[in-house]
């Protein structure tokens, strides 16, 4: 797909468009592709899904400064509004499609962006690192532990969501 075809597809879409920039040699891309395609079928007519092979369409990847794959580019009303870099949890993808489709059901709202086991692992590692920082008196290790703890709960922080949405619009 060349850049002109891509822009035409994005500009003429009546629904939000999720663009998956991927490559066949990318293992995380191959792992997330079936889930994204399943969600695209589930939300057909409400959210458009477009897969762009970065090897076959490098001009598209270059135009949107895609530095890593997989990358999801989210377009609403023809404008790039959000970018997700790297493989995400199934809950993150489900929440993204549901939000773009205009769903606000309790089930969608209750779907965590981070799986409970993953959240527990992140918070546990942060607690362990913080304990080591306190025992050794190393302040910078405590700062890293605080960052890890935030990494375990960032999806529940309204301030972070506001900042993130404004960053991707810029």
157 given a catalytic annotation: no
Marked catalytic residue, from 18, 21, 26, 66: 26
Confidence at residue 156, expressed as pLDDT on a 0 to 100 scale: 78
Domain that holds residue 139: 116-158
SS3 for the chain is CCHHHHHHHHHHCCCCEEEEEECCCCHHHHHHHHHHHHHHHHCCCCCEEEEEECCCCHHHHHHCCCCCCCEEEEEECCEEEEEEECCCCHHHHHHHHHHHCCCCCHHHHHCCCCCHHHHHHHHHHHHHHHHHHHHHCCHHHHHHHHHHHHHHHHHHCHHHHHHHHHHHHC
Mean pLDDT computed over every residue of the chain: 87
pTM score, whole prediction: 0.64
Q: What is the pLDDT of residue 168?
A: 56
Give tens-digit pLDDT for 90-100.
888 998 999 99
Are 23 and 92 in a shared domain? yes
- Which residue out of 29, 48, 66, 113 is catalytically annotated? 29
Q: Which pLDDT score, from 0 to 100, does residue 107 have? A: 47
Residues 79 and 120 in one domain: no
């Amino acid at each position: 797909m060349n850049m002109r075809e891509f822009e035409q597809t994005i500009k003429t879409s009546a629904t939000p468009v999720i663009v998956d920039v991927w490559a066949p040699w990318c293992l995380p891309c191959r792992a997330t592709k079936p889930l994204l395609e399943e969600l695209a079928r589930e939300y057909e007519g409400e959210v458009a899904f477009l897969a762009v092979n970065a090897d076959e369409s490098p001009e598209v990847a270059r135009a949107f400064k895609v530095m890593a794959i997989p990358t999801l580019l989210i377009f609403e009303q023809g404008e790039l509004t959000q970018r997700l870099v790297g493989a995400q949890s199934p809950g993150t993808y489900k929440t993204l499609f549901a939000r773009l489709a205009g769903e606000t059901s309790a089930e969608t709202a209750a779907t965590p962006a981070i799986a409970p086991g993953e959240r527990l692992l992140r918070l546990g590692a942060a607690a362990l690192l913080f304990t080591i920082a306190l025992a050794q008196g190393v302040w910078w290790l405590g700062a890293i532990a605080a960052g890890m703890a935030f990494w375990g709960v960032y999806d529940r922080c309204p301030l972070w969501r506001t900042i993130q949405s404004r960053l991707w619009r810029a």
